[in-house]
Amino acid sequence: MASKCALGQMSTNHHHLQVFDKGLCLTSNKFIDFSRRLSKLEGRSQIVEPNSVPLNADDPGQLLLEAYRDAPKLYPELKRYAAFSQGIRKIDISFDFVNFYRFFKVTTGGFHEQGDPCGTYTYEVFETMPHLNEVSCFEPFRAKICTLTV
């Protein structure tokens, strides 16, 4: 998916993670791709300060890392423990309608009774991204549905 927000790419293997004038932009054409990419970024720490990555599970910093990853807006002073996913500024997504309904937890017309969601992520993941400024949603054939800005 070509994103209008891109100024450059992180690398040719990561065309879905782009740098634009206001930070990182994550783009995905499918829900499964979005889930995989976000999962990878959640597991990678930004090493911007000394001692910002716990070396093992017994390290006292591990609790601080988990606290920040779960509630970065509540603990902004722990930003040195941020994951790459918490540096995302913009998200461009294009899912099929069923996955959009599941991602945004649509319950109208009994949709929630149609079975288990196809993945673990919902719109609530945005709460773990303290710097997220914009989410653009596109229909599968690339017509823009909406843009949500903070």
- Burial group, residue 94, by CB count within 10 angstroms (0-12, 13-18, 19+): buried
Domain check: are 40 and 99 in the same one?
yes
Nearest to 20 by CA among 36, 39, 6: 6
What is the torsional sign of CA 10, 103, 126, 56? negative
- Give the pLDDT score at 113: 67
Q: What tens digit of pLDDT does each residue of 48-89 get?
A: 788 788 888 888 888 999 999 999 999 999 999 999 999 999
- Give the pLDDT score at 8: 36
Residue 2 lies in a domain: no
- Give the pLDDT score at 1: 41
> For strand 134-138 and strand 17-20, is the pairing parallel, antiparallel, or unpaired?
unpaired
From first to last of the 150 residues of the chain, give the pLDDT tens digit: 444 443 333 333 445 666 666 678 999 989 999 999 999 999 888 877 887 888 888 888 889 999 999 999 999 999 999 999 999 999 999 988 888 888 988 888 776 666 655 557 999 999 999 999 999 998 876 666 667 676
**Domain enclosing residue 104, as ranges:** 8-44+83-149
Nearest to 26 by CA among 84, 77, 96: 84
- Give the pLDDT score at 6: 39
Nearest to 82 by CA among 46, 56, 107, 124: 46
Burial 61-75 (b: 16+ CB within 10 A, else e): beebbeebbeebeee
Domain check: are 88 and 20 in the same one?
yes
Count of domains forming the chain: 2
Domain check: are 72 and 144 in the same one?
no
Q: Are 73 and 130 in contact (CB under 8 A)?
A: yes
Domain check: are 143 and 98 in the same one?
yes
